[in-house]
């Protein structure tokens, strides 16, 4: 079969820049697709961390004035990923996170910053780089949402376009005047079938309206976002486009998340040596100042602290955690209020609750290897990756029955699930887990069934290939 060439467009890519699961997916999918004959190159902005690694890459294009300052396009590779880097210092050479200032506010020019990324994606789609003319442009989340829009409004021949939603909550909304500054035809595009969204423009809406195909990261989330509530303002559009919308479950990179080779954990283990997990549990308890109790059910949480993740519900369920003699190891950062409340809880119940505020990849691995159960009580969850890592590490997932969590964890086979999402139902799930934990054979069976679950990209990447090929076939004259 002829190879498929795909330009992926993403605002973060693991292991180069990561704030969440989008980076994991953007970093792992191209490698998984290689085995299926897909040549994927990924376009990303040249933030400082990117330039440190790829600053010496080949310059393939230079502009004296790209959206208000000099810019370059570089081509290089890192960790098995083939990358295009858009190096535009006045847009991307800034400290901290890709999206917000060090004080935590959105950069006021985010509209221009990410329009610039999509503009060059569309140009590559039109043949800017003769050595790599893609069959498909695959845009991830709102930051890349204008790529299908530029390709649509530019007119003429163009590659197929796919828009993937990782999270409906982030829609890239801006004032309509921005259209002018970013070279979109406001007259032609400012209606309900174009960029217009409640009187402004939305980059995500543009992508969803104008891409040939839409995917999201689990089948259940694909259904949920077609409702008014789950669609967060875009449910109607998605119902109208249901025939081109599908859900493809995420996988995880099983070489990064491998308990047999993981350099970040205290003791490596396989399914045959599950008892070695107790050494990781002891190391985790020691590291976080938790009481050294092998018999206490140790709950792990690795999460952004935002409304989405439902961690306020866990605070409400804390009497159950403590009453059942459980321990909690939480690693996360985000909302100041949640950070404060968890730190306070950890001070009050030292030895039983530990909260590490921050981002720490090595500790995330140790929590997966050392906690008995991993908790994800999300209000909505497009896919979720930590429960997949947990399955692979023998930490039994306790999750709400929403989105990708519902598609990847099932009770009684691999974990504990609850719904509708409330602190009462979470408490009940915690009680069931506590009861099961004291039956060693039953708990071990849960772990083993989890460890035998395929959480890799192997088959899931095949679903993207099928989508690309069917899109190409449908566009052939
Ligand atoms: P989301 O993308 O909504 O944040 P996911 O579960 O899809 O949620 O992905 C989160 C990713 O980020 C996982 O790889 C998880 O291990 C990682 N992660 C989240 N918070 C932290 C943290 N504080 N420290 C280290 N890794 C984290
Ligand atoms: C988003 C979602 C998460 C998903 C990730 C990768 O950040 O919140 O559920 O796993 O993207 O697709």
Taking a C-beta distance cutoff of 8 angstroms, is the pair 137, 148 a contact?
Answer: yes
Residue 418: per-residue pLDDT: 98
CB 324: neighbour CB atoms within 10 A? 16
Task: Print pLDDT tens along the chain (477 aa).
Answer: 788 999 999 999 999 999 999 999 999 999 999 999 999 999 999 999 999 999 899 999 999 999 999 999 999 999 999 999 999 999 999 998 999 998 889 999 999 999 999 999 999 999 999 999 999 999 999 999 999 999 999 999 999 999 999 999 999 999 999 998 999 877 776 777 888 898 899 999 999 999 999 999 999 999 999 999 999 999 999 999 999 999 999 999 999 999 999 999 999 999 999 999 999 999 999 999 999 999 999 999 999 999 999 999 999 999 999 999 999 999 999 999 999 999 999 999 999 999 999 999 999 999 999 999 999 999 999 999 999 999 999 999 999 999 999 999 999 999 999 999 999 999 999 999 999 999 999 999 999 999 999 999 999 999 999 999 999 999 987
Q: Taking the domains of the chain in order of start, what are their residue ranges? A: 4-251+458-475, 271-451
* Closest atom, ligand 2, to C-alpha of 169: 8
Nearest CA to ligand 2 atom 7: 21
Do 271-451 and 4-251+458-475 have the same topology in CATH?
yes
Res 427: pLDDT: 98
Residue in 370, 433, 440, 382 with CA at minimum distance from that of residue 408? 382
* Whole-number Å distance between alpha carbons of 264 and 266: 7
Q: Is the CB of 382 under 6 A from ligand 2?
A: yes
CA 103 vs. chain centroid, Å, equals: 23
pLDDT at 17: 97
What pLDDT is recorded for position 218?
98
**Binding site membership of 306 for ligand 1 (Cβ less than 6 Å):** no
Q: Which residues 6+ apart lie within 8 Å of 187 measured at CB?
A: none
pLDDT of residue 98: 96
Q: Describe the strand order of the beta sheet including 353-357 as a list of residue ranges.
A: 353-357, 327-334, 298-305, 373-376, 396-400, 416-418
Enter the CATH code of domain 271-451: 3.40.50.2000
419 lines ligand 1 (CB under 6 A): no
Question: What is the spatial distance between Cα 296 and Cα 426, in angstroms, rounded to a whole number?
Answer: 19
Question: Which of 23, 27, 142, 302 best tests ligand 1's pocket when mutated (most atoms within 8 Å of CB)?
Answer: 302
360 CA from centroid of ligand 1 (Å): 10
Ligand 1 near 384 CB (within 6 A): yes
Backbone angles phi, psi at 263, to 5 degrees: -75, -10
Q: 292: how many CB neighbours lie within 10 A of its CB?
A: 10
Q: Is the CB of 386 under 6 A from ligand 1?
A: yes
Instruction: Round to whole Å and give the CA distance between 302 and 354.
Output: 12
**pTM score of the predicted model:** 0.97
**CA-wise closest residue to 266 among 393, 370, 361, 374:** 370
Nearest to 241 by CA among 267, 206, 277: 206
Rounded to the nearest angstrom, the distance between the alpha carbon of 386 and the centre of ligand 1 is 7
304 Cβ closer than 6 Å to some ligand 1 atom: yes
- The runs of H, that is alpha helices, within 81-177 are 89-92, 110-125, 146-154
Q: Ligand 2: does its nearest atom lie under 6 Å from the Cβ of 216?
A: no
Chain-centre distance for alpha carbon 53: 22
Give the CATH superfamily of 4-251+458-475.
Glycogen Phosphorylase B; (3.40.50.2000)
Ligand 1 mean position, distance from CA 439 (Å):
31
pLDDT of residue 446: 98
Q: Is the CB of 132 under 6 A from ligand 1?
A: no
DSSP code of residue 307: G
Phi, psi (degrees; rounded to nearest 5) at 407: -85, -15
Residue nearest atom 17 in ligand 1 by C-alpha distance: 20
């Amino acid at each position: 079969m002829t190879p498929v060439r795909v330009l992926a467009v993403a605002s973060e890519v693991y292991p180069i820049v990561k704030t969440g699961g989008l980076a994991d997916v953007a970093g792992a999918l191209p490698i998984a697709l290689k085995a299926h004959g897909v040549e994927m190159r990924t376009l990303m902005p040249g933030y400082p961390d990117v330039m440190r690694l790829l600053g010496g890459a080949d310059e393939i294009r230079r502009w004296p004035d790209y959206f208000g300052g000099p810019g370059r396009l570089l081509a290089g590779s890192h960790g098995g990923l083939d990358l295009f880097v858009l190096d535009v210092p006045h847009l991307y050479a800034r400290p901290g996170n890709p999206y917000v200032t060090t004080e935590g506010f959105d950069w006021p020019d985010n509209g221009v910053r990410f329009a610039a990324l999509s503009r060059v994606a569309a140009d590559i789609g039109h043949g800017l780089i003769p050595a790599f003319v893609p069959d498909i442009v695959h845009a991830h989340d709102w930051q890349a949402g204008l790529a299908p829009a530029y390709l649509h409004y530019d007119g003429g021949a163009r590659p197929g376009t796919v828009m993937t939603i990782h999270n409906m909550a982030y829609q890239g909304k801006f004032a309509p005047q921005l259209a002018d500054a970013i070279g979109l035809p406001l007259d032609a595009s400012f209606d309900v079938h174009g960029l217009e969204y409640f009187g402004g423009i939305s980059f995500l809406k543009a992508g969803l309206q104008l891409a040939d195909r839409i995917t999201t990261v689990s089948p259940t989330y694909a259904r949920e976002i077609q409702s008014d509530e789950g669609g967060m303002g875009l449910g109607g559009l998605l119902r109208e486009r249901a025939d081109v919308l599908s859900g493809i479950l995420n996988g995880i990179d099983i070489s990064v998340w491998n308990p047999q080779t993981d350099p970040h954990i205290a003791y490596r283990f396989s399914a045959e040596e599950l008892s070695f997990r107790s050494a990781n549990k002891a190391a985790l308890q020691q590291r976080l100042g938790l009481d050294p109790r092998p018999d206490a059910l140790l709950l792990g949480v690795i999460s952004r602290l935002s409304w989405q993740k439902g961690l306020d519900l866990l605070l409400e369920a804390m009497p159950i955690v403590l009453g059942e003699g459980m321990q909690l190891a939480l690693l996360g950062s985000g909302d100041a209020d949640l950070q404060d409340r968890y730190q306070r809880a950890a001070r009050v119940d030292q030895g039983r609750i530990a909260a590490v505020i921050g981002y720490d990849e090595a500790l995330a691995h140790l929590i997966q290897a050392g906690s008995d159960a991993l908790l994800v009580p999300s209000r909505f969850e497009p896919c979720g990756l930590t429960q997949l890592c947990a399955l692979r590490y023998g930490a039994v997932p306790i999750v709400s029955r929403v989105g990708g969590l519902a598609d990847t964890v099932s009770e009684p086979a691999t974990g504990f699930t609850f719904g509708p999402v409330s602190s009462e139902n979470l408490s009940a799930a915690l009680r069931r887990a506590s009861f099961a934990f004291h039956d060693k054979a039953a708990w071990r069976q849960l772990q083993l069934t989890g460890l035998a679950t395929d959480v890799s990209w192997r088959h899931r990447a095949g679903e993207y290939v099928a989508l690309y090929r069917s899109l190409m076939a449908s566009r052939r004259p």
